[in-house]
Each structure stands twice: as C-alpha cells, then as structure tokens.
C-alpha cells in the first residue's frame, strides 16, 4: 500500500510558509491515483487539510486574542493571505482528480457534488475579480468602521450608540437613532459608488461562468442544491402574509405599553419588560459554571462536551484589552474540538451569544465523527439550525438554580428572544428580496433605482412603524447591512434555519428528550446528507410555505401571550 507524506502535527506547521507546505500537495497531485488507492489518498489529503486548517485556526485564535502583538498578526496574515489561498487552489486541483476518476460511494456523494459544482463554475479569469471584490469589501469595512458621531462632547462609534437606543427617555433615543443614520447618509454617495463596482464585478463573474445573472451563480457557488430563487420568493410571501401581521400586533402592544400615539423607528429598542438591564453574572467563572449546568439539563452528553471545552482551555470568553471585537465558534479540525471566542462583560447578550456559539460547538463535536474533513461541514442552513435550535432548547434552563436568572428575569429574557425571532424575519425577507431585485431586475447598476427598490421592499415587509419624514433614514438601512456588500445572498439561511429551529422547539415542548435526540442525530450527519435529510433527521423540514410558517408564528405569539400574562 502506498503512503503519502504528511506534516506530523499542526504545531509542526506553526512557522511554516507556503514552500514548506506545497510539496505535500504536489505529492498528492502527482502520485498515481486509482480505485485501489483512492481511499488511502483521500484519507491522507483529508489529514493534510485538517493539520493545515488547525495550524491556521490556532494562528487566528492567537491573533484575535491579542491583536496588539505584531508577531501574532504576522503569523495570522501568513496563513490567511499567503498559505490558505494557495492551499485552496491546490485543493481544487486535487478535487478534479477525484472527479476525473469518477469515484464516489455512500457518504461521499455530497462531497463529490460540491467538488463537481466548484469545478464547473471555476473560471481562471474570475480569480482577479475575486481579489478585486476582496479589496472592495475591505474598503467598505474601512468606511463603515471609521464612522463616528459626536455625542455630548465625546466622539463615539456607531456601535457605542447602542445603549442610548434603549433609553427610556424618548428624546435621547431619537437623537442617537438620527445621529447613527446621519453618519451613514454622509457617506451615501461613496458607498453607492463602491457598490456600483461590486455589482459590476459580480455581474462579470457570473457571465464569465456562463450564468445569466449573479443570483443564479450565487446559488450554485453556495451549493444551494435543495432550494431555488423561486422558493425564496415563496418564503418572502409567507413572511409577508404570516409574520408581518404578527409583528404589527407586537408593535401595537409596544405602542400601548410605552403610551405612544404611534411607534417611530427609534421606539424599537426600549425593553418593555423591565427598567433595569439584566446582569446575569459577575465573573467569567460563574458564567461558565452556570452554562455547564444549563447544557447538562438540555442533555448530559452536551453538558459533558461543554465541560470538556472549559477544562481544555477551549473557551476564551471575557472581554480584555487587545481582544478583537465580537464572538465566534471555530474548530480545531485535527484535534476534533471546537473553540469559542467572545467578549463577555456580564450582560444578557453574552448569555445569548454563548448559547448560540455552543450550539455550533456541539455540531463540531458531533460531526467530527465523520472520517473525512469534507464530510463534516454542512452549509449555513444546517449550521445555524444547530445554533438557533440550541437557543430555544436551552431557554427553559436559564433560570436559577441551573442558570443565571430569577423566574421573572428568565421570563423577560425569553420574551425578548421570541420577539427578536419575529422581528428578524421581515428583515431577512427584505435583505433577500432586495438582493434578488438588484441582480435580476436589470436596474441594479443604478444607485437611485436601488434606493427606490429598497423603499418598496421595506414598505412591503416593514409595517406598523411610522416612517413619515424619514425616507432618507429608511434608505440608509441597507447601506448598514454588511452582507449586501460583503457576502451577497448570505442571509436567507438565517430565515430557513429559524423555521427549522422553531420546529425543533415545538417538538421539545411535547417531548424534550426525543427532540434533543433527533437534534443530535442531525448534527452527527455533518455534511454527508442534503439539507432535506438533515432537517428531517432533526424532526423538521425546510419551510417556504405560508401555512407552516403561520403555524410556527402562532406558536411564538401564543407563547409570548402566556409569558406576558404570567408577568
């Protein structure tokens, strides 16, 4: 039996450059390949990818935990800028060998289908266009990241205005809301010109690859084998028919509670259920300990896995000077363990973030049982099913003694979560319908037409809020949506996954143990099955129709009424 050379461990590649790594790929690319040795070849290639992926991930974790360290930054950039793009190219080269061999078997079909699709749409002349798009994305980040406003004599970033949007004093939140939007509007022309260039580059990418528009290209490149743009249009209609009226009812409740004559856009951030913000924990040790109990209550095995992450140093949760902002869950592909990074400061959002990311980490644990690296990663639709379902499955245990909250606090946290679910869906539909318009209407190149189309989309999905006199501010919203600029068409996944998560939750209300068992079985499939089968295993299905969506929306609304009645 022929064996292939491999690096010994991720640590062995910590200081490597591309020249150290390319010989491994070269060997896999040039060695004789036949049906006799293809499994051995796949195993070696997969191991190489695991080791390399983990080496790069460790460099990224190191850097995001200590962004001021120039050495760590250099190592991270070496992987992200030098090594990974070339490794990716070599990966495409190797995948073509597999396709040419015509080899597949049970468990490998989805991998082969993804390889074949990537090869089909690959065009050499698109490579510089992707680099250009990367650069344009960096420009967007730069413009948006640099936005500041003057607030009571202090310079603040847009995210720093967030707390003022929750203010009970209406004038304060209106001022904060207007300032945030004005900052974007001041750069509207610049952002629109940037988008013009993105639109042109994407349209060219699609036509180079033989597609009539970028939407069709995007569906292929995102491996959306199980649903179409027409399904997404049905999803939009279903949201319009079922969610939009439910949100209007929630807004009416809000109007009454706040004693307003009409709800204006700056009235949406105020918490209705309490005056004081929740303080779920004082220190990270408590944060982690309670989380262990919560996940143990959801399922003993999941509780064990989370506890293992704590013991093995796979949680970096507290906010520190020098840490990158935000939160993520990533995986160490070689060790087969996930890693969670976040910036906890002791607020309710920290709990939400940890529970969400833990859902991703349980997915990583379960999917690692699949032998090959490509068999472990499903698309975002399945990944977010894992995390969004966990938010709902964990919600009954957020209360003491397992969790963080008193009974009343837990209730208000759950109310907010369910409200967020309802409010997010019309936004998801807006962002998706708008992008569909951009890339298929023939007018997407026209900046003024884009703004008009956004207003139309918004008036369809966003009702019950008085926007009179605020047309420009309303337009500003799409310029704030980074996905439209940086990750086109990546958004409907959240809607699809939320529908799946609500079904898992509905099941858990009737039979918690069985719902969790099915949830775990779905996670263990990794990427070896198509979406319908993954969802079916989780006890759910892909929802694009108004009837099922309507049932799930009614479930959420009923639960909201119950919770409010108990307050």
Q: Note the residues at the interface with Zn ion (CB under 5 A).
A: 387
Q: List the one residue out of 424, 386, 369 whose CA is nearest residue 538.
A: 386
Q: Rounded to the nearest whole angstrom, what is the least distance from the CB of residue 360 to Zn ion in the complex?
A: 6
DSSP letters, 396-447, are GGSBTTTSSB-HHHHHHHHHHHHHHHHHHHHHHHHHHHHHHHHHHSS-TT-H
* Shortest separation between residue 522's beta carbon and Zn ion, angstroms: 16
3-class state of residue 559 by DSSP = helix
Q: How far is the CB of 197 from Zn ion (least distance, A)?
A: 29
Q: How far is CA 222 from the centre of its chain?
A: 14
Max distance between CA atoms of the chain, in angstroms, equals 79
Nearest to 140 by CA among 188, 186, 179, 194: 194
CB closer to Zn ion out of 75 and 390: 390
Question: Considering the complex, what minimum distance in angstroms separates the CB of residue 565 from Zn ion?
Answer: 32
Q: Is the dihedral of CA 510, 226, 545, 429 positive or negative?
A: positive
> Least distance from C-beta 502 to Zn ion, angstroms?
16
Helix (H) or strand (E) holding 317: strand 315-318
Under 8 Å between Cβ of 237 and 546:
yes
* Residue nearer to Zn ion on the CB measure, 55 or 386: 386
- Closest contact distance (angstroms) between CB of 261 and Zn ion is 38
Q: Which is nearer to Zn ion, 18 or 490 (CB)?
A: 490
For Zn ion, the closer of residues 33 and 348 by Cβ is 348
Residue placing its CB nearer to Zn ion in the complex, 357 or 402: 357
What contacts 458, CB < 8 A, 6 or more positions away?
A: 430, 474, 477
In the complex, the smallest distance separating the C-beta of residue 353 from Zn ion, rounded to whole angstroms, is 9
Q: Closest CB to Zn ion among 387 and 503?
A: 387
Quote the least distance from Cβ 391 to Zn ion, whole Å.
Answer: 10
Instruction: Give the whole-angstrom CA distance, residue 246 versus residue 560.
Output: 11
Token duo for residue 455: 């207003």
Using DSSP, state whether 211 is helix, strand or coil: coil
Measure the CA–CA gap between 210 and 382, rounded to whole angstroms.
Answer: 29
Residue of 266, 39, 284, 290 whose CA lies nearest to 175 = 266
Whole-angstrom Cα distance, residue 24 to residue 151? 56
Three-state secondary structure readout of 238-270: HHHHHHHHHHHHHHHHHHHHHCCCCCCHHHCCC
**Residue 174 Cβ, how far from Zn ion at the closest point, in Å?**
32
Between CA 47 and CA 26 the distance in angstroms is 15
In the complex, the smallest distance separating the C-beta of residue 356 from Zn ion, rounded to whole angstroms, is 6
Q: Smaller CB distance to Zn ion: residue 126 or 387?
A: 387
- Minimum CB distance to Zn ion smaller for 359 or for 444: 359
Between residues 355 and 438, which has the closer beta carbon with respect to Zn ion?
Answer: 355
Choose between 98 and 329: whose C-beta lies nearer to Zn ion: 329
Taking the least distance from each CB to Zn ion, the nearer of 41 and 489 is: 489
Q: Which is nearer to Zn ion, 201 or 348 (CB)?
A: 348
3-state secondary structure (DSSP) of residue 69: coil
**Minimum Å distance from CB 64 to Zn ion?**
17
What angle, rounded to 10 degrees, do the helices at 188-208 and 214-221 form?
70
Which sign, positive or negative, has the C-alpha torsion 72, 73, 79, 82? negative
Measure the CA–CA gap between 261 and 463, rounded to whole angstroms: 16
Nearer to Zn ion, 47 or 377 (CB): 377
Q: Cis ω on the peptide bond leading into residue 401 (within 30° of 0)?
A: yes
Dig out the tokens for 376 from the structure: 């472990």
The residue at minimum Cβ distance from Zn ion is: 387
CA distances from 238 to 34, 245, 352, 560 (A): 50, 11, 27, 21
The minimum distance between CB 361 and Zn ion, in angstroms, equals: 11
CA–CA distance, 525 with 516 (Å, rounded to integer): 15
In the complex, minimum distance from the CB of residue 387 to Zn ion, in angstroms, rounded to a whole number: 4
Kind plus residue range of the DSSP H or E element containing 157: strand 154-157
């Amino acid at each position: 039996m022929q064996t292939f050379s491999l690096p010994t461990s991720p640590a062995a590649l910590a200081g490597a450059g591309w020249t150290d790594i390319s010989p491994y790929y070269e060997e896999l690319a040039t060695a004789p390949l036949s049906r006799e040795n293809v499994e051995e070849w796949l195993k070696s290639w997969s191991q190489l990818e695991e080791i390399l992926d983990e080496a790069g991930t460790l460099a990224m974790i190191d850097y995001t935990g200590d962004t001021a360290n120039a050495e760590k930054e250099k190592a991270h950039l070496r992987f992200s800028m030098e090594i990974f793009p070339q490794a990716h190219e070599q990966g495409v080269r190797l995948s073509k060998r597999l396709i040419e061999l015509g080899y597949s078997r049970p468990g490998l079909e989805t991998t082969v289908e993804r390889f074949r699709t990537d090869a089909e749409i690959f065009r050499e002349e698109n490579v510089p266009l992707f680099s250009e798009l990367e650069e344009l994305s960096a420009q967007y980040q730069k413009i948006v990241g640099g936005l500041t406003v003057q607030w009571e004599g202090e310079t603040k970033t847009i995210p720093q205005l967030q707390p003022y949007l929750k203010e009970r004093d209406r004038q304060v939140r209106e001022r904060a809301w207007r300032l945030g939007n004005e900052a974007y509007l001041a750069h509207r022309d610049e952002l629109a010109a940037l988008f013009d260039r993105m639109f042109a580059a994407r349209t060219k990418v699609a036509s180079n690859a033989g597609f009539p528009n970028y939407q069709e290209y995007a569906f292929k490149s995102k491996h959306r084998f199980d649903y179409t743009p027409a399904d997404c249009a049905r999803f939009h209609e279903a949201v319009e028919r079922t969610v939009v009226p439910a949100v209007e009812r929630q807004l009416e409740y809000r109007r009454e509670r706040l004693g307003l004559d009409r709800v204006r856009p700056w009235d949406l951030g105020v918490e209705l259920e309490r005056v004081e913000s929740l303080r779920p924990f004082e220190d990270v040790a408590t944060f982690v300990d309670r989380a262990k109990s919560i996940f143990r209550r959801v399922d003993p095995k999941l509780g064990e896995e989370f506890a293992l992450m704590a013991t093995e140093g796979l949680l970096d949760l507290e906010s520190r000077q020098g840490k990158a902002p935000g939160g993520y869950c990533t995986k160490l592909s070689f060790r087969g363990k996930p890693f969670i990074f976040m910036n906890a400061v002791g607020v309710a959002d920290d709990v939400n973030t940890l529970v969400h990311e833990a859902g991703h980490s349980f997915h990583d644990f379960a999917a690692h049982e699949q032998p090959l690296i490509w068999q472990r990663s499903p698309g975002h639709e399945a990944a977010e099913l894992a995390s969004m379902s966990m938010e709902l499955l964990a919600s009954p245990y957020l209360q003491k003694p397992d969790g963080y909250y008193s009974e009343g606090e837990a209730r208000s946290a759950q109310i907010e979560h369910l409200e967020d679910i309802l409010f997010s869906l019309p936004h998801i539909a807006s962002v998706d319908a708008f992008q569909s318009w951009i890339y298929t209407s023939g007018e997407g190149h026209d900046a003024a037409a884009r703004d008009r189309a956004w207003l139309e989309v918004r008036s369809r999905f966003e009702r019950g809020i008085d926007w009179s006199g605020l047309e420009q501010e309303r337009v500003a919203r799409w310029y704030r949506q980074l996905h439209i600029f940086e990750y086109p068409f990546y958004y409907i996944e959240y809607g699809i996954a939320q529908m799946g998560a609500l079904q898992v939750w509905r099941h858990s209300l009737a039979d918690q143990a069985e719902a969790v068992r099915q949830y775990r079985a779905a996670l263990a499939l990794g990427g070896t099955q198509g979406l319908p089968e993954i969802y079916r295993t989780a006890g759910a299905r892909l929802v694009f129709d108004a009837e099922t969506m309507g049932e799930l929306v009614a479930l959420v609304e009923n639960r909201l009424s119950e919770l409010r009645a108990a307050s």
